[in-house]
Amino acid sequence: MPELKFDITRVRQDFPTLNQSINACPLVYLDSGATTQKPQCVIDTTAKFYTDENANVHRGRHTLSENATIQYENVRAQTATYFGVNSSEIVWTKGATEAINLVANGLRKQVTANDTIIITPIEHHANLVPWQVLAQQTGAKLAAMPLNKDGTFDTELCLKFIKKQKPAIVAISHASNALGNITDLPTIIECAKSLGAIVVVDGAQSAMHLKPNLKILDCDFYVFSAHKMIGPTGVGGLYGRYELLNALTPYQTGGEMIQTVTLYESVYRDAPAKFESGTPNIAGITAFGAALSYLSQFRHAEIFEHEQAVFNYAHSRLAKIDGIYLYSSVKNNIGTLCFNYKDEHPFDVATLLDGYGVAVRAGHHCTQPLMAHLGINGSVRASFAFYNNYSDVDKFIDALQACIAILD
C-alpha cells in the first residue's frame, strides 16, 4: 500500500467522535456517506454562536444582529468561492432534499404535458420523488436513463437516449450514494444543454469528495448538504444559474423574502432572498463556514489522493474474501464500497460489525430502484472520508472476517 502523504494522525485528532470506543472496541467510522463527522472547530463555532453571538439576521440594527448578518452572508460568499460561482447564486436550504424540492416546485409553471423529465436508476429517492410529483402535477413524462447491469453508465448509450428523448429537464447524481460511482457529468450536461434541457445535479455525495467548479461543470442547478461536508445537520444549499434561479417560483413564502406586501398582494425579492423565507439555521450556517475553512487548509488534490488510497486498499482486501459480492465500480468512485456476503441479510452483517465497533450502513440506502436493478433487496455500505486511514481498513476487515466466522 502506498505511503500516505496526508497528515492523517493530526487530522483524526481534530474529530473528537472518532476517538472513542464502541462496544469496548475502537470506533471505525465507515458511514460518511450518511453523514460525516465534525471537526472540533465546527462544534466550537456552534457553541460560540449560541453562547456569545445569538441574534436574528437581516432584522435588526443592534450589534449582535448586524454581526450575525455579516457572518451569515460571509459564509454564503465562502460557499460560492468553494464552488467557483457567485454569491447571488447560492440559496440556503435545510439540505439537499429541500433544495431539489425547491427546484422541482419552482419549475412547475414552466413544465407542460409535452415535456419529458429524464431521471436515472441510481438516484437517491430525494432526486426521484420530487420529479415524480412534478410529472403527476403537470402531465410531463418521466424517462429513466439506461443503466448497465453492473450499475454503471454507458456514456454513449446515455447520449443517444438524451437525444432521442429531447428532455426539458435532466435530474442526475454526480456520484451514487449507494455505490459511490462517479457519473460522467460533463459529457451528459453538454449533450442535454445542446437540446435546451435544464440540468439538475444532486451533489450531496460529490460536493466534498470532488469539490466541483460549477461554472466549469456548467450545470444549471446543483444541490448539496453541509452535514456531508463535515458541517452541521439541518443546513444545505442550492446553486442555480442566476437567470434560471430567479425565474423559479418560490414554494415557501413568508417574511424576509418579500419586497413589499399589501393586504391583497406581495412583490418578492430577487434571488437568493426570494427563497429564504423565515428565520434560517443561522448557527448551522455559521458552523458550515468553519467547516469550509477547515477544508480550505488542505489542497483538494491531497484530500482526494488520500481518500482514493484508503478506498483502493479497502477494495483490494475486501475483494479477496470468499463469498463477498461487490457492486461498486472501482474505476471512478468517491470512496464507497457496496457489498453483500453470500445470501446473508445486510442488517445481520452490519449488526455484527457494530459489535466490533465498526459503523457501516445497511439496507437499500434510499435507492430502491437501484437495488431492484442489481437484483438485491439491500446491501452493506462502507463509505470512506479523508479522516479514515489504513488502520480503519484493517480493523474493518478483521471484524468482517470474525463476523463471517459467526455466520458460517
> What burial class does residue 376 get, using C-beta atoms within 10 Å of its C-beta: 0-12 exposed, 13-18 middle, 19+ buried?
middle
* Integer Cα distance of 85 and 216 in angstroms: 10
Say if strands 266-268 and 324-326 run parallel, antiparallel, or are unpaired: unpaired
> What nine digits make up the cell of 366?
434510499
Residue labelled with grid coordinates 448539496: 224
Cα angle: 68, vertex 76, 63; to 5 degrees: 15
Nearest to 220, CA basis, from 362, 107, 131, 67: 107
List the one residue out of 92, 62, 33, 102 whose CA is nearest residue 284.
Answer: 92
- Catalytic residue, candidates 158, 338, 366, 403: 366
Look at strands 236-240 and 258-261 and give their pairing.
unpaired
Please report which helix (H) or strand (E) contains residue 143, including its range. Answer: strand 141-144
Q: CA gyration radius for the chain?
A: 22
Between strands 324-326 and 21-22, the pairing is unpaired
CA distances from 135 to 68, 109, 244 (A): 40, 12, 20
Sheet holding 169-173, edge to edge: 90-93, 236-240, 221-225, 198-202, 169-173, 116-119, 141-144
Residue with C-alpha cell 497528515? 7
List Cβ neighbours of 316 (8 Å cut-off, separation of 6 or more): none
Is 366 known to be catalytic? yes
Q: 3-class DSSP state for residue 301?
A: helix
CA distance 403 to 352: 6
Give the separation between CA 72 and CA 65, rounded to whole angstroms. 10
| Residue 10: HSE in the Cβ half-sphere, 13 Å Cα cutoff | 7
- Which residue numbers are catalytic? 366
